Amino acid sequence: MDPIVVLIFVIVGAVVFGGLVYVGMKEDRGRDPLQERLAQYDDKELPSSLEEIELSLSFRDRVILPLMKTLAKTTAKFTPQKQLEDARHKIELAGMNMDPASFFAMRVALTLVFGLGAFFVFFVNSPSTPKGTALLYTLGALGLGYILPVMWLSSKIKRRQENIWRALPDALDLLVICVEAGLGFDMAMGKVYEKWDNELAIAFGRVLREIQLGKMRRDALRDMSNRMDVPDVTAFVAAIIQADQLGVSMAKILRVQSDQMRVKRRQRAQEKAHQAPVKMMIPMVFLIFPSIWIVLLGPSLIILFGSNEVNAVF
């Protein structure tokens, strides 16, 4: 290499090194950064009263959450136990951490908000609106506010179930690989829980925690299938429990279940592919075809009507 080039590299390196040393010595002011961070917290004074502590909280923590809890307790007193149990089951199917009383309180709150909003819009701000029409709109807003949380919960349940049956074949493949490699079924579920972050992996992690707390594996698996309400998971759990009771090889059962789940997923994809033309027919007939007719026939119609008007004049 040319000595001049080597000399240039040495000079550039020395300048960069000297600059880093200068910056480091400039930033070192003889004080410990940990002590500086601790001093920031030492400067803060402790609140002198409970009122000051409450005022330091946000509006959500001070007003909204206590109001919702009070409304939830009041709603739970007047709600039948069967409805609370059904709501609890639906909340578990959705994978949410919510109290059924809070869900009913949310329904009541939305009903009141929608109803009062419609009342002020149609009765107060629009006095010219007929009373019957305004009352009908207000009743519709009340019904919408009461049904909207149920629709939201049903959509979350459907989305979660779709995510579960989509992830099940891949999870079974990983279970087969782990079991055939010599791991136990519980450890294989632990590997699925470690590798992935989806609804099925979270459910496997909950099953493992329940087993560690003393619940039998078949009971934990049955509870998992009840919390999901997915037919594929129910069939998988039933096969695992039967294999455990009869002493059948777990690897063979998992291999058969994996093949079946992949066939089912392929059949579902084919079914959706066959449904696509039927679903596309509605937008094509009502949206695409009218636009094409307007573009193609519009100029000719204009010319035709224009010629007729000219003939009528002469």
Please report, for residues 82, 105, 144, 254, the alpha-carbon distance to residue 149 in angstroms, rounded to integers and kept in the order given.
18, 10, 9, 39
Per-residue exposure over 182-213, b if at least 16 CB sit within 10 Å of its own CB, e if not: eeebeebbbbbbeebebbbbebbeebbebbee
The CA distance from 135 to 126, in Å, is 12
Q: What is the pTM of this model?
A: 0.64
Query: CATH code for 161-269?
Result: 1.20.81
Cβ-based neighbour number of residue 71 at 10 Å: 18
Domain ranges across the chain: 57-159, 161-269
Query: Residue 253, class by beta-carbon neighbours within 10 Å (0-12 exposed, 13-18 middle, 19+ buried)?
Result: buried
Q: Which residue in the block uniquely carries the two structure tokens 């099953």?
A: 207
- Encode pLDDT of 51-107 as tens digits: 655 566 665 666 666 666 676 666 666 667 777 788 888 888 888 887 777 787 788
Give residue-wise pLDDT tens across range 258-284.
888 888 888 888 888 888 888 888 888
